[in-house]
Chains A and B, each alone.
Chain A
Amino acid sequence: MRRFGIPVPASQLLVCADAPAPMDYPFVLKAQVMTGGRGKAGGVKVCRNEAEYRENAEKILHMEIKGHPVHGLLAEQMMQAQQEFYISITLQGVATPTLIVSRMGGMDIEQVSKDHPEEILKLELDPFTRLKAYQKKQIAEQLGVADREDLYALLEKLQTAFFDGGAMLVEINPLGLVDGKLVAMDSKFVIDDHDAAMAPVREELTADRAGLYRYREPEKEKTTITYVPLAGNVGMISDGAGTGMLTLDLLHDAGLQVASFCELGGMTSPEVMYRAMELTLQGHPEIEAVIVVLVGGFNRMDNMATGLTQYCREHQVTIPVFCRMCGTKQEEGIEIMQENGLPVFNVLTQTVAATAQAVKEG
Chain B
Amino acid sequence: MSILIDKNTRVLVQGITGKSGSLQTKAMLDAGTQIVAGVTPGKGGQEVFGIPVYNYVAEAKRAHDFEAVICFVPPKVAKDSCFEAIDAGIRLLVLTTEEIAMHDVVEIIAYAKAHGTTLIGPGCAGVIIPGVCKVGAHPVRFFQKGKVGIVSKSGALSYEIGKTLSDNQIGQSGVVAIGGGPLWGFTQRDAVALYEQDPDTEVIVLLGEIGGGSEEATAAYIKQNVKKPVVSLIVGRNAPTGKSLGHAGAIVSGNVGTAATKIATLQDAGVHVVKNPVELVEMIQRLLKKEG
Q: Which residues of A approach B to under 8 Å, CB–CB?
A: 91-93, 95-97, 110, 126-128, 163, 166, 168, 192, 194-197, 226, 228, 230, 238-246, 248-250, 252-253, 258, 261, 263, 265-267, 295-298, 326-328, 347-349
Report the nearest A residue to B187, measured CB to CB: A95
Cα A242 to Cα B277 with chains together (Å): 13
A195-B102, A252-B237 known; A243+B142 contact, CB < 8 A: no
B238 touches A166 (CB 8 A): no
Task: Kindly state whether residue B227 has any CB partner on chain A within 8 Å.
Answer: no
Number of A-B residue pairs with CB-CB distance less than 8 Å in the complex they form: 166
A249 touches B102 (CB 8 A): no
- Inter-chain pairs besides A230-B240, A297-B138, 4 sampled, C-beta below 8 Å: A244-B245, A246-B277, A249-B238, A261-B245
A194-B101, A226-B246, A266-B98 known; A245+B236 contact, CB < 8 A: yes
Task: Kindly state whether residue B125 has any CB partner on chain A within 8 Å.
Answer: yes
A95-B183, A297-B125 known; A243+B101 contact, CB < 8 A: no
Query: Per-position contact with A for B228-251: 1 when CB-CB < 8 Å, else 0?
Result: 000001011111100111110010
Which residues does chain A contribute within 8 Å of B75, judged by CB atoms?
194
Most buried by A among B98, B111, B155, B256: B155
Query: Per-position contact with A for B19-30: 1 when CB-CB < 8 Å, else 0?
Result: 110011000000
Which residues does chain B contribute within 8 Å of A239, judged by CB atoms?
156
What are the nearest 7 A-B pairs in CB distance? A240-B156, A242-B154, A242-B157, A241-B246, A263-B246, A245-B235, A245-B236
Which residues does chain A contribute within 8 Å of B109, judged by CB atoms?
96
Query: What are 25 A-B pairs with beta-carbon distances under 8 A?
Result: A93-B182, A163-B103, A192-B102, A194-B100, A194-B101, A195-B101, A195-B103, A196-B76, A197-B101, A240-B156, A240-B160, A241-B154, A241-B209, A241-B246, A243-B157, A244-B246, A246-B160, A246-B235, A249-B235, A263-B246, A297-B156, A298-B137, A298-B155, A326-B142, A349-B277
Task: Kindly state whether residue B159 has any CB partner on chain A within 8 Å.
Answer: yes
Report the nearest A residue to B106, measured CB to CB: A127
Task: Kindly state whether residue B9 has any CB partner on chain A within 8 Å.
Answer: no
Task: Kindly state whether residue B139 has any CB partner on chain A within 8 Å.
Answer: yes
Which residues does chain B contribute within 8 Å of A196, judged by CB atoms?
76, 101
CB distance from A164 to the nearest CB of B (A): 9
Which residues does chain A contribute within 8 Å of B19, judged by CB atoms?
267
Task: Kindly state whether residue B119 has any CB partner on chain A within 8 Å.
Answer: no
A91 touches B106 (CB 8 A): yes
B160 touches A242 (CB 8 A): yes
Which residues does chain A contribute within 8 Å of B23, judged by CB atoms?
298
The one of B107, B184, B277 that contacts A128, using a Cβ cutoff of 8 Å: B107
B276 touches A295 (CB 8 A): no
Cα A149 to Cα B239 with chains together (Å): 48
Q: Which residues of B approach A to under 8 Å, CB–CB?
A: 19-20, 23-24, 75-76, 98-103, 106-107, 109-111, 125, 137-139, 141-142, 152-160, 163-164, 167, 180, 182-184, 207, 209-210, 212-213, 233, 235-240, 243-247, 250, 253-254, 256-257, 275-278
A240 touches B154 (CB 8 A): yes
B240 touches A192 (CB 8 A): no
Cα A126 to Cα B244 with chains together (Å): 28
B137 touches A246 (CB 8 A): no
Report the nearest A residue to B158, measured CB to CB: A242
Cα A242 to Cα B125 with chains together (Å): 12
CB distance from A191 to the nearest CB of B (A): 10
Which residues does chain A contribute within 8 Å of B254, judged by CB atoms?
110
Cα A166 to Cα B155 with chains together (Å): 27
Which residues does chain B contribute within 8 Å of A197, judged by CB atoms?
101, 103
A252-B238, A297-B125, A297-B138 known; A128+B110 contact, CB < 8 A: yes
CB distance from B126 to the nearest CB of A (A): 10
Cα A226 to Cα B183 with chains together (Å): 19
A96-B109, A166-B102, A245-B235 known; A295+B245 contact, CB < 8 A: no
A241 touches B247 (CB 8 A): yes
Which residues does chain B contribute within 8 Å of A263, judged by CB atoms?
245-246
A91 touches B159 (CB 8 A): no
A194-B99, A240-B155, A243-B156 known; A226+B245 contact, CB < 8 A: yes
A127 touches B167 (CB 8 A): no
Which residues does chain B contribute within 8 Å of A96, judged by CB atoms?
106, 109-110
Report the nearest A residue to B97, measured CB to CB: A266
CB distance from A236 to the nearest CB of B (A): 10
A253 touches B246 (CB 8 A): no
Which residues does chain B contribute within 8 Å of A163, judged by CB atoms?
103
Which residues does chain A contribute within 8 Å of B159, judged by CB atoms?
240, 243, 295, 297, 327
Cα A258 to Cα B142 with chains together (Å): 28
Which residues does chain A contribute within 8 Å of B163, judged by CB atoms?
295, 326
Which residues does chain B contribute within 8 Å of A127, judged by CB atoms?
103, 106-107, 110
A267 touches B20 (CB 8 A): yes
Which residues does chain B contribute within 8 Å of A261, judged by CB atoms?
239, 245-246
Which residues does chain B contribute within 8 Å of A93, judged by CB atoms?
182, 212-213, 253, 256-257
Cα A295 to Cα B184 with chains together (Å): 23
Which residues does chain B contribute within 8 Å of A92, judged by CB atoms?
182
Cα A127 to Cα B137 with chains together (Å): 30
Cα A192 to Cα B106 with chains together (Å): 13
Cα A172 to Cα B101 with chains together (Å): 23
The one of B156, B183, B243 that contacts A295, using a Cβ cutoff of 8 Å: B156
A242-B207, A327-B139 known; A192+B245 contact, CB < 8 A: no
Report the nearest B residue to A264, measured CB to CB: B246
Cα A242 to Cα B24 with chains together (Å): 21
A240 touches B157 (CB 8 A): yes
Cα A243 to Cα B277 with chains together (Å): 11
Which residues does chain A contribute within 8 Å of B239, judged by CB atoms?
245, 248, 261
The one of A97, A166, A245 that contacts B210, using a Cβ cutoff of 8 Å: A245
Which residues does chain A contribute within 8 Å of B276, judged by CB atoms?
246, 249-250, 253, 349
Cα A349 to Cα B167 with chains together (Å): 13
Report the nearest A residue to B211, measured CB to CB: A93
